[in-house]
Every structure is written in C-alpha cells, then in structure tokens.
Structure 1
Amino acid sequence: MRLAELSERSGVPTATIKYYLRERLLPPGERVTATTAEYGDAHLRRLRLVRALIQVGKMSVATAREVLAAVEDESLDHHMRLGAAVWALPFDPGPAEETPETAAARRTADELLRRLDWRFGMELGALSPAYGLLVNAIAALARLGYPHGVENVLPYARLAGELAVTDLDLVEGFETPTEQVEAAVALTVLYEPVLLSLRRLAEAEESYRRYGEGG
C-alpha cells in the first residue's frame, strides 16, 4: 500500500506518519521510485504500537524509540526479548538511597518472591525495574503506617500471577514472535488503565454489598 492508504487504514495523518519515519519510530517502506514507497501490514501494526506508546502511554519520542529498539532486538531468545521490551517501558526509579524502610521493604519483596517461588524474579532481583518499583511501594506503605508485610502483599501477588497467565495467553494469540513482542508492549500500556478502573469499580461494588443497601 502507498502512504495515503496507510494513513487511511491506520487513521494516522500522513504528516504524522512522515514524522514517525523521520524519527525512526516506523521502519522505512520498500522504495518503488525516488519519491514513493510501499508499506505493509507490519507498518500498520507498528503504527498501532507507536500510538499506544505516545498517545496512551504519554511517552516522549526518545523513550518510545528506546522501547521499539528493544522490540526489534532479535538477538535475544523469546523470553528475554519479551522481558527486555516490557522493561524498556518507563518505570519510576528504584530507591534513591538506602533507608531502614527500603532495607525492610527489600527483605519483604525477597521473601514474597521466595514464597511465590518466582525463581526468575529472585535471580534478577534489583536488575528488574519492577522490583525497584515494588520496593518503593512497600517502603511507602511502611513509612505511612499502612499494612505492608508479606501476608498483606501476598494476595495481590497471587492475583498478579493469574493476570500474567491471562496476559501471555492473549499475547500468544498473535502469530509471529515479533507480533507477540509488539503486542506484549502495547497491551501492557493499554491494559493498565483497564486494570485500575476495574479494581476501583470492583471495590465500589464490594463496598455496596457490604455497607450499602445490598448489605
């Protein structure tokens, strides 16, 4: 397809597509003449991913480019490629300094991973951006005096494990390894607001059942 058709099918203006091409967010098309190129389904998929990163994920072009570089890294096996691509998504930084709260939170996180037998998580530890995010969250709970022990966090972790099965089942519905990696990144960004909204709706429903007219 030519640029105009790519724009029509993707819903992305031609000027925006040209910008993505210049910024290397979109691979170049197959050159037909000096002034025209052909684009394929891979470009449609990449446009959907770029829009998820920039429009929904609110990432800068530079950050989106880093994520896409991880998506394209075919030197890794499928597991590591999926992980690298998702980990390239922006995270809050890990603990800036060691405090009694962060040290205790790190012990809690380690014990949590041990109880769950999440062996890959235990091997990576602080190398994982998600691990640093977890330590920060547990430390914040501790500082503010809210429940933060292993037994408090464990039910959430078990639910997260069930969600991971659902996530990977969804990703495996895509045919090629590249499509699966692209989908893993896009769905991580697009489903996080879904999870947040469903949690709040579920809490409102449970509150109504316990304390409202239905209680």
Structure 2
Amino acid sequence: MRIGELSRRSGVPVPTIKYYVREGLLPAGELTSPNQARYGDGHERRLRLIRALLDVGGLSLSAIADVLRTIDDPGQPVHEVLGAAANRITSAEAAEPGEAGPESAEAREEVAALLARRGWRVSEDNPAARSLAGVLAALHRAGHGGFTELLDVYADAAEPVAHADLDYVRRRVAREDLVESVVVGTVLGEAMFGALRRLAHVEASAGVFGETGGAEEGRAAG
C-alpha cells in the first residue's frame, strides 16, 4: 500500500508517519521508485502499537523507542518484552510519591514483606513495587497506616485479575499485539477495576449502612 492508504487505515497523518520513519520508530517502506515506497500490514500494526503506547500508555517517544527495541530483539523472551512494556507504563503513569523519611523506609519494608509472603517473583525495585511503597508511605503520613492491614486482601483480589489479563494476552500471536494488549490492560484495565471497586463500595455500603445510605452514596458517586 502507498503511504496515503497506510495513513487512512491507521488514522496516523502522513507527516507523522514520515517522522516516525526518520526517528527509527517505524521501518522504512520498500522503495518502488525514487519518490515512492510500499508499506505492508506490519507497518500498520507497528503504527497501531506506537499510537497505543503514546495515547493510551502515555509513554514518551524515547520510552516507546526503548520498548520497540525490546520487541525487535528476537533473543528477548516474551516475559521480558511484556515486563519492559509494563514497567515503562508504570513509570509513565506516576512517579513514586512522597519524600524520604521513616514512613518511606517502613513502607518499603512492608512491600518487601508482602512480596516474600506472597512468593511473588518481583524485585523490590520494580516500578510498581516502588509505586506501592509510595502509596503506603502516604497512608502512614496521613495517619491511616492501619490501611496496610488490607494489603493481602487487595493482593487476593489482584491475583485472579492478573491471571485473567494474561489469559487475554496469551491469545495474541504477534509480539506487537502482545505489547498492545499489555498497554490496554494496564491502563484501561486498571480504570475498569477501579470503577468496579467503586460500584462494589456502593453495594457494600447499602448492606452495611442501609439501603437509603447506599442509594444516596450511589447518587453522590455518580
């Protein structure tokens, strides 16, 4: 296909496609004449992935380039490819909140204990682990350190969701499709999980505090 058709099919403007080619994010098309090139389905898939990483994942172009280099390395296991994408997204979503202090040290210890207790094969330096430590430190500073008693309850809920996410990802064939699934699942999946949690709060509130309170909370939340 010509670049104009590639633009129509992908929704990416022609000047942007040319920019991605210049920056090495998108392979150049096959030259058919000095001023014409032909593009294939692989170019369309790569453009879709770039836009997902940019628009949904919130990654910078330099971070996207890092992820794409990992994808294009045939020696990288799929687990490493998915990890590179997820870690970049986690880093882009939010830096570790909070400042250094006793709360931060305590929070890091709590995260380390959680990982050991659950037997999760995750480094304490993982961006998600650092983000969790930041949240726990903020809870301690706000005087709600007792909320950490719910860590395992949250972990119990997160594990089946993670496995369901990966079952969805496993049905993808191309490495680009795998990474795109991780982007969508990490960003939009978390938003979906958060909305479902709020709905569950309304239902639980109705059961604990009475139907009237639950209905009023539901209206307020809406």
Equivalent residue of 1:32, what SS? strand
Equivalent residue of 1:8, what SS? helix
Contact 2:29 2:37 in 1 (8 A): yes
Contact 2:205 2:213 in 1 (8 A): no
2:149 matched to which residue of 1?
A: 151
**Alignment of 1:71 onto 2:71:** yes
Distance 1:46 1:131 in 2: 30
Distance 1:61 1:197 in 2: 30
Identity of aligned residues (%): 43
Q: What letter matches 1:75 in structure 2?
A: G
Inter-CA distance 55–105: structure 2 relative to 1 (3 Å threshold)? same
Contact 2:97 2:134 in 1 (8 A): yes
**Mean alpha-carbon deviation: is it higher for 203-212 or for 162-171?**
203-212
Inter-CA distance 176–64: structure 2 relative to 1 (3 Å threshold)? closer
Task: Please state how far the C-alpha of 1:147 moved relative to its aligned partner.
Answer: 4.2
Superposed counterparts of 1:51-200, under 5 Å: 51-91=51-91, 92-94=94-96, 98-118=100-120, 120-121=121-122, 124-126=123-125, 128-148=126-146, 150-200=148-198
Equivalent residue of 2:15, what SS? helix
Task: Please state how far the C-alpha of 1:173 moved relative to its aligned partner.
Answer: 0.9
Inter-CA distance 25–205: structure 2 relative to 1 (3 Å threshold)? farther
Q: What letter matches 1:176 in structure 2?
A: A
Task: Please state how far the C-alpha of 1:146 moved relative to its aligned partner.
Answer: 1.5
Contact 2:95 2:131 in 1 (8 A): yes
Contact 1:31 1:38 in 2 (8 A): yes
Q: Give TM-score scaled by structure 1 length.
A: 0.83
Equivalent residue of 2:124, what SS? helix
Task: Please state how far the C-alpha of 1:95 moved relative to its aligned partner.
Answer: 6.9
**Alignment of 1:204 onto 2:202:** yes
- Number of residues of Structure 1 aligned to a counterpart in Structure 2: 211
Structure 1 runs not aligned, ≥5 long: none
1:25 matched to which residue of 2?
A: 25
Distance 1:104 1:68 in 2: 36
1:35 matched to which residue of 2?
A: 35
In angstroms, what is the RMSD of aligned CA positions? 2.6
Q: Give TM-score scaled by structure 2 length.
A: 0.81
Inter-CA distance 72–204: structure 2 relative to 1 (3 Å threshold)? farther
Deviation sequence 1:170-212 (CA, Å, 0-9, x none) = 1111113443234323432343333333333333344345443
Equivalent residue of 1:31, what SS? strand
Equivalent residue of 2:35, what SS? coil
Q: What letter matches 2:183 in structure 1?
A: V
Contact 2:3 2:39 in 1 (8 A): yes
**Mean alpha-carbon deviation: is it higher for 32-41 or for 65-74?**
65-74
Q: What letter matches 1:47 in structure 2?
A: L
Distance 2:195 2:19 in 1: 33
